[in-house]
Structure 1
Amino acid sequence: MASIYKALIITPKTPTRLEILNPGYLVVSKEGSIEEVTKRDPRRRYKNHRFVDHSDKLIIPGLVDSHNHLPQYAFAGIGGKELLSWLKTYTFPRETLFKDSTLATEAAKVFFKDLIKNGTTTTATYVTIHKGATEAAFMAAKKAKIRALIGKVMMDRRSPRALSEKTATSLAEAQELIDRWHDPEGRLQYILTPRFALSCSAELMEGVARLAREKNLPIQTHLSENLNEIAAVKKLFPKAQSYTDLYNRLGLLGSKTLMAHGVHLSPAELKLLKKTQTTIVHCPTSNRFLMSGTMPFRSYQKLGVKMALGSDVAGGYSLSLFNEMREAIESSKSLAVSTDGKSGAPMTLAEAVYLATLGGARAVGLGEKVGSLHKGKNADFLVIDYRRLSPMGADDYEKPEQILSRLIYRGGPEVITGVFIGGEKV
């Protein structure tokens, strides 16, 4: 139904600036696209549109989680180990279970339901090596009506026997899933998903790069998350100048590639990432939870490296991107203190919102369709009851910047009263 929503509207305008309409009017067509966002009451011009008065609510764009792992959600919050030992103790045993299609189906239903509950309307998601589990994920995402880039994890060496594939089989099954599910004009897309260099042969990664070129597909993998991981990659691929150089030699870098973490990168690697327009997906909760380190956001931002934000469940312990925005800001503050300001100014509220919305949308190739509230885009948005954020209910702290700060620092699914994807409440 064509509708006009009146509310406080906050949307990213640039990577560092927000647009605030207080109040604003969001005009949504019956097809689910944004017809107009304005400060002037447009009801005379849209007489057949339903009017919804959310004068005491906040509307923001739907959130974009640019990195997460569906099978790991079951053990979110359980850690106490660094990356490589954590993978062996929790991740690989859990992912082995996804050969059971019934288990995989139920896990996918819960996962996408909870993503939406937390305000995520677009997601880039890893499944497991199992084709059946990946099919189940696509079916659950379709039913949930979420926008999703989903990939079958690819691993052909140095992996547990139950999670190791033959190179040709991995590539062939990816091709079959692409043919069935990839729809660049719809809500579901396939994203090629080699886990990381430690579990993938050069032949497999070259095959992924070739498929990506042939089909114009996005790629997601991990980069420089943990120092022990980096050392192991160097030992495994001694001819590469760096972890990033390895991926570049194999053809994996590019404007449609998501590199999760990127905590420990040299100036040469950052220059290469910028040159190829590759995105680093910042996962601050996971970086701290698994004791990987602190990504120097301001340094990367000053160099012009593309960035987005990811929950990295279950290295991250929550699917809430409000939590991730908070962690991103706070980790940048801690780094500024520990370096006596040499790391640069901490991340701002506006920058955190950008990473969780338009920055993520641009990273996954959907920046012209979602990520901000502007004319012509799909109407993916959240309705927030911001007075629930205050311990006192209605109070004197209701300037837009104060409301946004409270949302990031105190927000969760309990304050979200509506999640809309393509104009439809889901």
Structure 2
Amino acid sequence: MPSLPFVFWNRGSLKLEGAARRSDEVREQGFTAVIDMRGATWSTVKPILKVLQEHFPGSVHIAYIIKPDNFWQKQRTSLGSHKYKFETNMISVEALSKIIDTTQLTSDLEGTLHYDHSQWIDVRLALEDFVWQAADLLDRLDDLQEDLSRSDFADDVAGAKHSIDLHADMKKKIMKAPVEDIDLIGQKLLQRLSGDANSGYDSGYSGRDSEASSVVANPDLQASVPQILQNLEAIHTSQQHLLQLWHHKKLKLDQCFQLRLFEQDCEKVFATMFDWICHNRDVFLMNYVEIGHSYKLAKELQEEHNHFTMSSMNVYVNINRILTVASRLIESSHYAAQHIRTVASRLDRTWKEFAAGLDERTAVLALSVLFHHKAEQVITKLFLFSYLDMF
């Protein structure tokens, strides 16, 4: 029959031995359990059978119970009366090797399988500790990823600056995560499972070579190697993904800060321009349709308007600077490019409408000055001609 993993009872310890990874066909046959009743009592065996029946995670095919020399017929009858999902048979140590491959039996059962339960527990505890630490670290990295995934962009310049500072602290948390420490633990555990003498592990056993070979030959422990590698890969992948998310959000936060600065500048320009217009509105509107009834008055209005226009150039300088910033932000693929384009267009349109009024007023006053200047020249000449005709 094919070699099956088995459980055996030996001096009060329940132990699980594993053969190599089984094929699906062998896997379906389930486990062969061997319970060593020598030196034990029936009251000790019954709980083990109950555990195998109710709590053992795998499928048990058959349970062989090694009987002591003075095993009573009554106890054997009692055993047969129990109804288990698996078959139970009493057997002697000598007959056991005829049913189970001796390579799957320990020396206590006259087999050749090297197995040290203390060493197995020690390695298993190290494995469980690594898995726990790796899982805990992955949970912490997942929490950091959740924090980085939030789209919590501030609504003002101060808030945007604060978000950038908090994001810098997040980078420190990512880099402080004990990824390298867990990686070192995992690598040492892999070396230990591979029997590498350079693993730095010292069990205290004098027969170190036999221990190493036992670990390497133990399929249950070797089956944990892919899990260790998977955890190490998951941790490094998670950290790299976190760093990518961090850099991506850093770009977004920088863009948010630039956006809030842009909006703040736009608000200042709008406020400055509107305050300036409101302050000069009365004068501007009062004289807007006034073109002067003489050259002197037209010239005075023109000079006042030119002064007004020059004053407005200070506003235009700020507007032009903001529009330049807006173009640069849009070209840099800013996440709020459409919003920036809308605000910039509104600012540009408002200024152009105002500038068009100034240009129109400039042209009208220029024509008025020219007209009155020519008119006064004509009147002067006519007056001179009239004066000469009198003589």
TM-score interval for Structure 1 and Structure 2 normalised by the shorter chain: under 0.3
Which structure shows the bigger proportion of residues in strand conformation? 1
- Indicate the structure whose relative CO is greater, using CA pairs within 8 Å and at least 6 residues apart: 1
> If the length of structure 2 is used for normalisation, what is the TM-score?
0.18
* TM-score normalised by the chain length of structure 1: 0.17
Which structure is larger by alpha-carbon Rg, 1 or 2? 2
Q: Considering fraction of residues, name the structure with more helix.
A: 2
